[in-house]
Chains A and B, each alone.
Chain A
Amino acid sequence: MTAPEGDPAPVVPGRRRLLRAGALGLGALGVGAAGAGLDRSLRDPAGSGAEATEPDPSPHGGAVVPFHGAHQAGVETPAPASATFLALDLREEVDRDGLLRMLRLLTDDAARLTRGAPALADTEPELATEPASLTVTAGFGPGLMARAGRQAPGWLAPLPAFGIDELEEQWSDGDLLLQVAADDPLTVSHAARMLLKDARAFATLRWGQTGFRRSPGVVRPGSTLRNLFGQLDGTANPAPGSEHFAKVVWIDEGPFAGGTSMVMRRIRMDLDGWDEADRGAREAATGTRLDSGAPLSGGDETTLADFEQVSANGFPVIGEFSHMRRARGVDDGEHQEIYRRPYNYEHAPAPGSGLLSEAGQVFVSFQADPLAQFLPIQRRLDELDLLNQWTTPIGSAVFAIPPGCAEGDFLGQAVLE
């Protein structure tokens, strides 16, 4: 939106180029990431004496993920280390005009901060100088669509109740979702606060959740996340940049074309209870080897599971009750796949609670149609999944992620205007 750029540093491509980059950019981004990995692996080996150049002492701080494009950043782009999820409720008196003004302000903040520039009227501009792959992703709840006077997608509603749920309202629903993520928690903190300051005239904070993944440079980019059970989580994901990913995630027609749906579940994990399970019991529950992530039927992390394989005494090697069997994407040839982009959470337990941790997962999945893709999987897990013994969903929300925007436009413009 408003946007005079004082600082000439960022080379800002023209609108048309941006749109084209949006369409093609992710492939390029994937290549870039792979290139960086390759670069590092070439530099790291022991015989690096030949290396003349000084290593960059802060290689991640300046990394920029383009904000503008056909899709919003923060979905197909690599999941950075630190994330804050904010759900806001519109104030009662905010009308459609107010809503659009808010989105323009937030879009401007996001566009600036993600390229390492301070927000307009940023009171701590020094905290904005290391974008560290910052992304800001906006999602709309049913309340926002109603306030804008626009038809919401049919699936944009709370998920049906599941037997395993112990939902708490404080972690559920909301009119507007902001996913703020970067490879640095201080960057995330500043961006989130800046966005909240510009939203507060229009909305109140319903809930906030924070989560973490591996820090940058710790594991090979693209590695599957380990959750707090030690389990590799997300192995079955479609590969970002692939046609498969596009088919699973992006909506291909209607106002939300180029957007997607986001399912958020706050899943409490009973780490103390998990401690009581030995490795065999754990692997029986997950259906995978904990070390490699390989299915119990053999191979490595990426080997397809052989669900037919039986043990010497005739039992399925990957148990009927195992998470892997129950959560597998393709069931009876149907297109039931999702893209998981979860974060771990861990907070200090309440004083005096006797617990060692308050921990779990901010489960995040993106899929073009949550009812056709997410819901069948979740129903199966609800019916039977040995992991349920240690996991409890305590929050749930569904948001519609509008497509990305071009320079000068605001997030959700295509959907709301």
Chain B
Amino acid sequence: MSQHSPLPSAALTSLAPAASVRALVGRPTRRAALAAALLLPLAACTSGASDGSAPDGTASDAGGAASDGGVAGADGLALVDPWVKAAEDGMTAAFGTLVNDTGRDLQLVAASTPASTEIELHETASDGSGGMSMQEKEGGFPIPAGGELVLEPGGNHLMLMDLTAPLQPGDEVELTLRCEDGTELVVDATVKDFAGAQEHYEPEDSSGSGASDAEGHGGDHGSGQGDDGHEGHGGDEQDGHDADEHSSDEHGDGDAHGNDAAEQDGAE
């Protein structure tokens, strides 16, 4: 599905045919929805993990569900409302709610996307001084049978470490999620202009300078992107801070709703 698979080889080798179904959570066309409906039974057959708990994605509903923007997942695993914070370069994060209707416990261990050279699974925790910091989640996230895993700003999330191209609002980004047992889920996530999700990133092996989650600093994480593409966005010091510009003027005036939009204009 995705051309690169930066995931632990164990996850790849341990399992036979991964149940890989394109979950049409993006902007499904009718044709794509139908295709999903056709694919689903196949996936159910090949996964070999079906325990008869008949997840909602049976062939008959799937077309309707997908074209309604519903979720057709890998044999009962779905990422509901997937989205990614827009960013010019560097890092950003992906969110959504993983719903496990497979009838078995899962462990999310890896994710990938064409939009970034690497995705890390991150958890956010109190840094002990009133702030929050995030770090890679060792071993990934459990998703109990019948349960869900919420990926949200300020909490657990998927960290796109180094964008291969700017992610603009309204873009669709393909995400591939892999569980320890080989269950694989591919979804399209919508890129959103989002002011938050600026958790402090504290890689375990770093000297502590850290970087804000979404700010796309090349410094700590070897962007290789350089400063290209920043024209028109103000100072070099503040590389790639589109989102921050939004947030800083967001609450400027108590006046009409759109003042930030107007100010935005002025900022450019």
A105 and B80 in contact, given A15-B30, A408-B28 (Cβ under 8 angstroms): no
A135 vs chain B, min Cβ distance (A): 17
- Mark each residue of chain B from 143 to 169: 1 if its CB lies under 8 Å from any CB of chain A, else 0: 000000000000000000000000011
Chain A residues near B25 (CB, 8 Å)? 2-4
Map CB proximity to A onto B176-213 as digits: 1 under 8 Å, 0 otherwise.
00000000000011101111100000000000000000
Does A192 make an interface contact (CB < 8 A)?
yes
Does B235 sit at the interface, judged by CB under 8 A? Answer: no
Alpha-carbon distance between A193 and B253 when the two chains are bound, in angstroms: 13
Per the bound structure, the CA–CA distance linking A197 and B195 in Å amounts to: 9
List residues of chain B with CB within 8 A of the CB of A4. Answer: 23, 25, 69-71, 78-82, 96
| Cβ of A205 under 8 Å from chain B | yes
Interface range on chain B (Cβ under 8 Å from partner): 35 or more
Near A by CB (< 8 A), chain B positions 75-116 give 78-83, 86, 95-97, 99
Residues of chain A contacted by B28 (CB below 8 angstroms)? 3, 408
Please, how many angstroms separate the alpha-carbon atoms of A192 and B169 in the complex?
Answer: 18
Which residues of chain B have C-beta atoms less than 8 A from A165's C-beta? none
Chain A nearest CB: distance from B94 CB in Å? 11
Instruction: Give the chain A neighbours of B170 by CB distance below 8 A.
Output: 98, 100-102, 104-105
The reply to whether A6 and B169 contact each other, CB–CB distance below 8 Å, is no
Q: A4-B82, A105-B169, A408-B29 are in contact. Are A205 and B69 (CB under 8 A)?
A: no
Q: Is the CB of A2 within 8 A of B172?
A: yes
Q: Is the CB of A202 within 8 A of B257?
A: no
Given contacts A2-B190, A198-B193, contact A204 B261 (CB under 8 A): yes
B97 touches A6 (CB 8 A): yes
B99 near A120 with CB under 8 A, answer no
> B64 at the A/B interface (Cβ < 8 Å)?
yes
Q: In the bound complex, do residue A205 and residue B258 qualify as a contact, i.e. CB atoms below 8 Å apart? A: yes
Q: What is the CA–CA distance of A63 and B123 in the complex, to the nearest angstrom?
A: 39
- The answer, among A91, A104, A201, for a CB contact under 8 Å with B193, is A201
Shortest Cβ distance from residue B54 to the other chain A in the assembled complex, whole angstroms: 16
Sample of 11 more A-B contacts, CB < 8 Å, known A2-B190, A203-B261: A2-B82, A2-B172, A2-B189, A88-B261, A98-B170, A105-B169, A108-B190, A121-B83, A198-B193, A202-B169, A408-B67
Residues of A within 8 A of B (CB): 1-6, 12, 14-15, 84, 86, 88, 91, 93, 98, 100-102, 104-105, 108, 120-121, 123, 189, 192-193, 196-205, 208, 210, 407-408
Shortest distance in angstroms between A362's beta carbon and chain B's nearest beta carbon? Answer: 14
Docked pose: A105 CA to B96 CA in angstroms: 17
Pairwise interchain contact B256-A208, C-beta atoms closer than 8 A: yes
Q: Are A86 and B258 in contact (CB under 8 A)?
A: yes
Q: Cβ of B69 and Cβ of A204 under 8 Å apart?
A: no
Q: Is the CB of A196 within 8 A of B80?
A: no
The residue from B171, B195, B261 contacting A101, defined by CB atoms under 8 A apart:
B171
Quick check: B26 and A2 within 8 Å, CB to CB? Answer: yes
Evaluate contact between B262 and A408: CB separation under 8 angstroms: no
Instruction: Check B194 against A15 for contact (C-beta < 8 Å).
Output: no
Are A2's CB and B261's CB within 8 A? no
14 pairs, A vs B, C-beta closer than 8 Å: A5-B69, A5-B80, A15-B67, A91-B265, A98-B168, A105-B170, A123-B196, A193-B257, A200-B193, A201-B193, A203-B261, A208-B258, A407-B67, A408-B33
Q: How far is the CB of B239 from chain A (nearest CB, A)?
A: 18
**Taking the complex as formed, is B215 at the interface, i.e. its CB lies under 8 A from any CB of chain A?**
no
Tell me the bound Cα distance from A244 to B175 in angstroms: 51
Q: How far is the CA of A193 from the CA of B189 in the complex (A)?
A: 22
* B194 → chain A closest CB, angstroms: 5
B window 22-40: CB within 8 A of A: 23, 25-30, 33
- Residues of A near B256 (CB, < 8 A) are 205, 208, 210
